[in-house]
Amino acid sequence: MISAPAFSTFFPPRRTLMGPGPSDISPQVLAAQSKPTIGHLDPLFIKMMDELKSLLQYAFQTTNPMTLAVSAPGSAGMETCFVNLVEPGDTVIVCRNGVFGERMRQNVERIGATAVVVDDPWGQPVSAAKVEQALQQNPQAKFVALVHAETSTGVCSDVQTIAAIARQYDCLSIVDAVTSLGGIELRVDDWGIDAIYSGSQKCLSCVPGLSPVSFSPRAVQKIQDRSHPVQSWFLDQSLVMGYWSGDGKRSYHHTAPVNGLYALHESLRLLAEEGLENAWARHRQQHRDLATGLTKLGIEFIVDEQYRLPQLNAVTIPEGVDDAKVRSRLLNEFNLEIGAGLGDLAGKAWRIGLMGYAARKENVALCLQALNQVLR
Amino acid sequence: MISAPAFSTFFPPRRTLMGPGPSDISPQVLAAQSKPTIGHLDPLFIKMMDELKSLLQYAFQTTNPMTLAVSAPGSAGMETCFVNLVEPGDTVIVCRNGVFGERMRQNVERIGATAVVVDDPWGQPVSAAKVEQALQQNPQAKFVALVHAETSTGVCSDVQTIAAIARQYDCLSIVDAVTSLGGIELRVDDWGIDAIYSGSQKCLSCVPGLSPVSFSPRAVQKIQDRSHPVQSWFLDQSLVMGYWSGDGKRSYHHTAPVNGLYALHESLRLLAEEGLENAWARHRQQHRDLATGLTKLGIEFIVDEQYRLPQLNAVTIPEGVDDAKVRSRLLNEFNLEIGAGLGDLAGKAWRIGLMGYAARKENVALCLQALNQVLR
């Protein structure tokens, strides 16, 4: 026998999470998650799932019946959208202005489809003009994929305009809303978005590990008309819908992450209680206060004011400052996590999140005061 | 605006979970899960992940460095093993004696590989002789895939013998240990298993949503020698290992399900504290007591005694008994969940789980007494 290791129960410290996610989680959400586990086919659980679907539809501002939470993190939500819609040989216009556009490209290529990449510089939004040009040059394209809130740079792209252009060219739009859902304006039906995915651990302030997704009726039709089977069994939505269908007869696909779904239900319930527009306004307000304070500390934003995400503040590390040392002091002395730069911005930027429950006066005050002391 | 639905916080009842999973969860595991979320790159979290890897290695009885938990349920663990190892055009011997062997076949075919199916009747173990015959007839085969504990029928197959045969024919073995890990004897290294996956919600008695996996050095070599990229970005282990590598430098792949991993750490810690052999013996003992009681009630097992899984008792529904009504009364009057039949056994069988924390005297007593009253 390989002998048993002897470890103690893990007791994490209480951190203030102001990185790119996971964000601070409301005590009510943690409490909901720790309720006793019941069966994933229990009638009471199924009733909760029906409520969860309504709450997701509200958060996405959609009436799409095919709205659910993938039982895995946001990157699985991304893959769910791509593998269900895109078939081998298809052409997809992929907008890339940060890490997650590049990840979309990799998803497309692993399907055996062709990605036509529309590049914009890191820290700038996707250019609608370039997307339209790419569509003109690639009449065979069937999809336009873009990131609403690019977590690696803190930039917001104009999904409403680009989804409308996609539709003009008879393309479906696939939108990454991992960092946007619940934090900034997003209207799936009004904007004509065809497939969208998000993550539980950003502006929803739920525990990490779940990915809300929604598909328009046009997208559902596309899935039904596929000529190749979906390459993933686990993510095949035609199978998953047997469980989420809400027709009262849930068929077993996989064991749902019961406790995580309790938490998601509670976090969405709190969002509905506050109201989406109030949540968006709260994120804007806290962002303004943070930005004012950062400017006073001489810290500059990477993104032009008009394109900045309130919930993800990417700032340039001031010259002469030791990136790792500052983040480590914030963590060890103030229990405050802010995010490092990712990809091209590694070592050059910090990413300060104000997501969901973290978009609070207390957090802004702590962050400014801690930075002030550590940078002094 | 689509208006906000108004729902209350969900308060699940306290059930006793004796179905095919999720199983009863120890209060300590639920408590561990509800600890404050910290960042997935936090040094303290990474230390916890290192411990978690040791605990998984102990549970699997392996020294495989590539041992980790997939951030999704067991069916994603299954897919992880298949998509990382099997390439388009490969031949896989798939042993099918229940629902999960069939799911393996579907995984193989979605890769564009060929599944040679070795069928055994539901309720019987995989026949080692038939596997050997299939290997003789298919010298091009590269893998043998089988389910250790078939959750749909309650039968245990002889993985040790079949993995050894696979190796004689220079094939890698892929083993489904979703329902076996922690409940019955399983020794990955001694038995020469090359790839194995499990689920958190069975005999580990952790919350559902995570899938422990392990790959032998031979399997890792196979992954490194691939000529096609892995079709799934999310499940590509060459990327995931950058996060789980344990060399102190964890690189971001996706946001880990932080709280779920707290729970898995605690459930594995409890298993290590009890000791694997003691846990196996406890499952056997509770099974014997349950079987004795069921026999007294005139309820018969589907599987021959020598092949029965202690943790999953598939029994024939007595003649004239209304399946749904009995399960519904158990649930509503006794808060007791037992499992329905699945696939070929739907409407014909019940599946009574004694998994992990549920393999307790109290549960056996409740189940026998409740069945006695409801069937009277």
DSSP codes, A220-274: HHHHHT-SS--S-STT-HHHHHHHH--SS-PPPSS---HHHHHHHHHHHHHHHHH
Residue A7 distance to chain B (closest CA, Å): 7
Residue A236 distance to chain B (closest CA, Å): 11
pLDDT recorded at residue B21: 93
Same structural domain, B360 and B225: no
Question: How many structural domains is chain B composed of?
Answer: 2
- Cβ distance B35 to A28 less than 8 Å, yes or no, reads no
Who among A208, A257, A269 is closest to B258 (CB)? A208
How far CA B237 is from CA of A292, A323, B59, B84, in Å, comes to 43, 30, 20, 7
Same structural domain, A231 and A334: no
Same structural domain, A187 and A319: no
Same structural domain, A157 and A60: yes
Same structural domain, B178 and B310: no
Q: State how far Cα A139 lies from the chain centre.
A: 30
Domain of B350, CATH number, reads 3.90.1150.10
Q: For residue B80, which residues of chain A lie inside 8 Å, CB to CB?
A: none
Query: Would residue B306 count as lying in a domain?
Result: yes
Q: Quick check: A247 pLDDT over 70? A: no
Q: Quick check: B243 pLDDT over 90? A: no
pLDDT-derived band at B291, boundaries 50, 70, 90: very high
- Cβ distance B342 to A252 less than 8 Å, yes or no, reads yes
Which of B218, B246, B272 terminates a domain? The answer is B272
Q: For residue B11, which residues of chain A lie inside 8 Å, CB to CB?
A: 35
Query: Would residue B362 count as lying in a domain?
Result: yes
Instruction: Indicate the angle between helix axes A217-224 and A237-244, nearest 10 degrees.
Output: 120
**Beta-carbon contacts of residue A325 (< 8 Å; ≥ 6 apart):** none
Residue A291 distance to chain B (closest CA, Å): 23
Same structural domain, B268 and B281: no
Mean pLDDT of B163-188: 98
Query: Would residue B304 count as lying in a domain?
Result: yes
Token pair of A57, please?
């539809």
Question: Which is it for strands B155-156 and B172-176: parallel, antiparallel or unpaired?
Answer: unpaired
Buried b (16+ CB within 10 A) or exposed e, B223-257: beeeeeebbbbbbbbebbbebbebeeebeebbbbb
Same structural domain, B171 and B293: no
Question: Which is it for strands A349-353 and A336-340: parallel, antiparallel or unpaired?
Answer: antiparallel
pLDDT recorded at residue A240: 86
User: What gap in Å lies between CA B92 and CA B88, rounded to an integer?
Assistant: 11
Mean pLDDT of B15-41: 96
Q: For residue A252, which residues of chain B lie inside 8 Å, CB to CB?
A: 342
Same structural domain, A332 and A260: no
Percent of chain B with pLDDT over 70: 99
Mean pLDDT of B181-197: 98
pLDDT recorded at residue A326: 97
pLDDT recorded at residue A336: 98
Which of A208, A240, A272 terminates a domain? The answer is A272
Query: Would residue B93 count as lying in a domain?
Result: yes
pLDDT recorded at residue A344: 87
Query: Would residue A225 count as lying in a domain?
Result: yes
- Cβ distance A36 to B51 less than 8 Å, yes or no, reads no
Q: Quick check: B175 pLDDT over 90? A: yes
Mean pLDDT of A55-70: 97
Fill in the DSSP letter of residue A281.
H
Who among B13, B58, B208 is closest to A257 (CB)? B208
Mean pLDDT of B177-187: 98
Residue A169 distance to chain B (closest CA, Å): 27
pLDDT recorded at residue A246: 58
A120-129, A262-271, B6-15, B233-242: the lowest-pLDDT one: B233-242
Residue A71 distance to chain B (closest CA, Å): 6
**Beta-carbon contacts of residue B373 (< 8 Å; ≥ 6 apart):** none
Who wins on pLDDT, A246 or B309? B309
Query: Would residue B117 count as lying in a domain?
Result: yes
Same structural domain, A290 and A221: no
Q: Quick check: B105 pLDDT over 90? A: yes
Report pLDDT digits (tens) over B325-347.
999 999 999 999 999 999 889 99
pLDDT-derived band at A243, boundaries 50, 70, 90: confident
Q: What value of ipTM does the predicted structure carry?
A: 0.97
**Beta-carbon contacts of residue B365 (< 8 Å; ≥ 6 apart):** none
Q: Quick check: A250 pLDDT over 80? A: no
Q: Quick check: B249 pLDDT over 80? A: no
Who among A9, A48, A232 is closest to B79 (CB)? A232
Domain of B246, CATH number, reads 3.40.640.10
Same structural domain, A203 and A290: no
Which of A238, A272, A306 terminates a domain? The answer is A272
Who among A12, A63, A273 is closest to B36 (CB)? A12
Query: Would residue B91 count as lying in a domain?
Result: yes
Same structural domain, A231 and A210: yes
Who among B39, B111, B259 is closest to A33 (CB)? B259
Interface test with A, best of B10, B50, B78 (most A CBs within 10 A): B10
**In 3D, which of B276, B21, B271, B272 has the Cα closest to residue B149?**
B21
pLDDT recorded at residue A343: 87
Same structural domain, B62 and B191: yes
- Residue found under tokens 């994120």: A283
Phi-psi region of B178 (alpha: psi -120 to 50; beta: other; left: phi over 0): alpha
Is there a binding annotation on residue B282?
A: no
Query: Would residue B9 count as lying in a domain?
Result: no
Mean pLDDT of A181-202: 98
Residue span of the structural domain in which A160 resides: 27-272
User: Mean pLDDT of all residues in chain A?
Assistant: 96
- Cβ distance B232 to A79 less than 8 Å, yes or no, reads yes
